[in-house]
Amino acid sequence: MTILTTPKQDGFAMPGEHAAQQAVWIAWPVRPDNWRHNAQPAQQAFSYFIDKLAEVVAVKVAILPSEVENAKTQLDQSALSQGRIELVPMAYNDAWLRDTAPTMVTNQAGERRAVNWQFNAWGGELDGLYDDWSDDEQVATRIAEFHGFQQYDAPFILEGGSIHCDGEGTVYTTGECLLHPSRNPHLNQAQIEAYLQQYLGVQQVIWLPEGLYNDETNGHIDNLLHIARPGEVLLTVCDDLNDPQYAISQTALEILHTTKDAQGRALKVHELPMPGPLYLTAEEANGVQIANHNPLKQQDSVGMVRRAGERLAASYANFLICNGVVFYPLLDAKTDGAAAAVLAQAFPEYRLEGIPAREILLGGGNLHCITQQVPA
């Protein structure tokens, strides 16, 4: 059922990721023009992550009906039989549920509702990553109906990876994404802020200019920054002055160090090391089927470009907080340990669980990008 008011009008707001979670949604990867070797390596990586997640939360796996039997052979059998992993047949175009699943909002009484954002595959005809996103546009409604949640239909384009909420009135985002001409060119920054306040139930929007370098989502916040708790964030930084990421991160640091949140708190910033830089190998690129060129696009793009030597948008900030555990990506043996040390400092009361994530990264995102939580 669609509600014609807004979450803020009804006393609903997006909780922080550190709040208790009832379930986490993930979609089974299948696209051969994004996941190499018909997604078999990606499915192994997803399966490992799903099995680990199922130890602390119910995992709902959106899956194409044709893939159900295949997934059953790869996932933990006891978790499947006990219902800790549930396969939910559903149509979708790709596996990035952070961006296509609904954002959940709650009120003081603990009621939950879903926000359905408009979606155009990260850019539509201007620079979208694939041509047909009609199934992805229906994912949020299908998940809301699965849970029996009432739904708000937001009147603008937004991906869940482009926002981070602290649950106490503050949302973080990037101008690179939300102000990009491929999203909502008819809206200015003030209008987008007003929509964020209404549909997330927040009072303040903290804007960073850019996201991670060479991120094909046009700079999603969740690949650069994560919230540990209200008033405390983690940010990917770069030590190499000649790396394009250095200036991006330094600008973000300056903004975060001089900004107060909705509750008037100065922000504490934990600096996460940047892995790599990491690049796509020839063997990895050769395993991806080339997508068809889209003649409707206003620039020369084939959507999800996967070329040998391409720099990967790798970041330890792309982790998931879930019920007392921080699931973080293992990306580079040279920096994994340093990243874990920063996470341990930021989350002293949490257990850390490293997830081998190279195969997920090859598809263009990471652990946070492929998940969407349902608050308890």
Residues designated catalytic:
369
Backbone angles phi, psi at 193, to 5 degrees: -55, -45
- Residue 25, H or E segment: strand 21-27
Q: Is 16 left (phi over 0), alpha (psi -120 to 50) or beta?
A: beta
CA distance 105 to 375: 8
- What stretches of 53-119 adopt beta strand conformation (E)? 58-63, 85-89, 103-106, 112-118
Coil, helix or strand at residue 214: coil
Half-sphere exposure of 347 toward its Cβ, with a 13 Å CA cutoff? Answer: 29
Residue whose entry in the numeric block shows the structure tokens 């990867």: 29
Say if residues 85 and 113 touch (Cβ distance below 8 Å): no
CA angle 68, 355, 94 (to 5 degrees): 40
Say if residues 78 and 120 touch (Cβ distance below 8 Å): no
CA distance 234 to 212: 13
Pick from 133, 126, 188: nearest CA to 156: 188
